[in-house]
Each structure stands twice: as C-alpha cells, then as structure tokens.
Amino acid sequence: MRDILSRIHQKKQRLDTFQSLSNEISKNLDEWFRIELTYTSNAIEGNTLSRIETALVVEKGITVEGKSIKEHLEAVNHAKAYQFIQTLTDKTKTSITERTILDIHSLILQNIDTVNAGRYRTIPVRIAGSTAIMPNAIKVPDLMSEFIKWLHHKKEGIVKIAADAHFKLVSIHPFTDGNGRTARLLMNLILMQAGYPPAIIRKEDRRTYINSIEKGQLSGDLSEYYPVVFSAVERSLDIFLSTLEEKKGKPEFLKKKLMTIGKLAKESNETVSTIRYWTKEGLLKPSQISKGGYQLYNPDTIKIIKKIRKLQKEKRLTIQELKQVMGKDHPLY
C-alpha cells in the first residue's frame, strides 16, 4: 500500500507543476470524466447503458431504444450531480456538511424517487447478496453527524481520507437507494478539492470492489479495498499527466499512431459528443478498444470526418444516406 501511495504522491507533485490547464484541455478532460464517471458508477449499480449510450443520453438527450426510463434518468442525474460537486471544488474552504451529501443524493434520485431523494432512510435496508448488516435507521442521523465530525478532524493523507469517507458512508448506508453513487461522488469531491482528478472505479473491477467493501464491513479488514480505490486514483492521475505531457511531445497514443476520442475531436474541430454519435451510428469506426474500454481511432478518421461534413454541406444527406455513401468508399471499412 505504501508503494502505490508513494507513486500517487509523486504523480500528484508532477501534476502540480502544470500551473493551469488551457480552456480546451480542461473542457475535454471535464467532458471525458463526466461521461466516464457517470457510465462506470451507474454500471456498478446495474445500469445497462453502454459508454456510448451514456454519452448520447447525457450530451444529446437521445433516447436509447430498449433501455428503461430509469436508466436514462440515472445517467442524466449522475451527470448533474457530478457538475454539482464541480461547483464545490474551487471552494476549498467550504466544508463538506450533511447538507452537501443530501444535495448530492437528491440529484442522484431526482425524478426517480422523489419521496426519498435527499432524505435519510427510515426503514431497514439490506445489500443484495451480502450478509453485512446495515445500521438501524433510527441511528442514521447520529451516525451521519459523527461521520461529518470525523471528516473534519481527520489528519491523514487526503487519498486515504477520501477512501475511508467512501467506505464509512456506504457502511452507514443512510439512504434507501443511491448510497454507492453518492459515496463515490463524495470521495471524488474530497479528492477534487485537494487538486486531484476524480477517481473512476471501472466496470470490470465491480466484483472486486463490492467484495472488498463487504469484507471490510464484516471483518474490518480494508486490505483489499484500499488497492481498488488507490489504483483508481493513480489511473486518473496518469490520464491527466499523459494528456498534459502530450503537449510536450510525449503522447502515448501517438506512439501507437492511434488517437483518443478527445484528440480526434480536437484535430477534426468537432465535439466529442459528435464523434461518439457518428461512431454509434456506424459512420466512424474505432481502430482499437483499449483494455479499459476506451475507443482509439486511426488518424485517417479525420479525412472521413471532413468527407462527412462536406457531404452534409453540399448534399444535405441524412445519417442513413451518409451510411450508404460512406459504405461504398470508406477507407477504414
């Protein structure tokens, strides 16, 4: 555990050497993290929207066929909740309070469960598939008051505090639903107020993540939980650093001659949401999917994008018509 915390500390110091992000880089990173956090956090809770579908719902308000209204609302709500904690990240002197947590939860369940949104539970709850016993609902207000006091007086490193805050909140389980998503957003609020990027618990780590929390709740042993969270923090630092260092001529993806969706959007002068939409519709094809599930594109995709725009401007073709035209002469197909 010391090794990974040491690496995190060193990478945070490197990140701090970059005085400020350009508006363009900041916007691209923000957009990526907003979608990725929304997708992964909801997926952990069973939401079946894919990464691309999540982006289409959040960025374009598109309804995805075959998906429930609740799943659509979960995507929209989480994106709003993330934007809310962003408004608090520059206010490092603003203490996190019970009201902060209630406001996050209220956004998570907005239009899904208006009765319980932003309110502590008054009934017993159980975690599906777990033998861990959650506190009696009567104790929740006092436990939350104690939790906030603990948070304000904790003196350990911020990464460990954020991880502990997440674990403590899900173990109190103060709400009827939305506890995990609220806890992950609280963890990221703590990290972001300290200048860290938000940590993303990946969908593929879901079982390890859930099992490690249950083990901690049953035995007090967090030895499997901390590595999951710390690795998430380190990955996000790596994403920020690789993006910033790319400007210095050290792009990892350029070494592979492939482009991230953010890089492709920048080079083609399109928005990330447009690239995602065209990919969803089959007009564009990623050349590779990374182990983390990220789409990587051949630089020649820029030519295809320019051709799409030209056809739209000159012939006013629909998406279906574009598919027919592009299918006949598509350099990546």
Please enumerate, as own/partner, the contacts of 95-99 that have beta carbons within 8 Å and a separation of 24 or more: 95/152, 96/148, 96/151, 96/186, 96/189, 96/190, 97/148, 98/144, 98/145, 98/148
Are the C-beta atoms of 5 and 157 separated by less than 8 Å? Answer: yes
Please list, in sequence order, all residues whose beta carbon lies within 8 angstroms of the beta carbon of residue 62, skipping any fewer than 6 positions away.
56, 277
Catalytic residue among 78, 105, 166, 173: 173
Any catalytic annotation for residue 152?
A: no
Are the C-beta atoms of 85 and 37 separated by less than 8 Å? Answer: no
CA distance 298 to 279: 13
* Number of C-beta neighbours around residue 185 at 10 A: 26
- CA contacts within 13 A on the Cβ side of 70: 12
CA distance 182 to 119: 12
> Where in the sequence numbering do the catalytic residues fall?
173
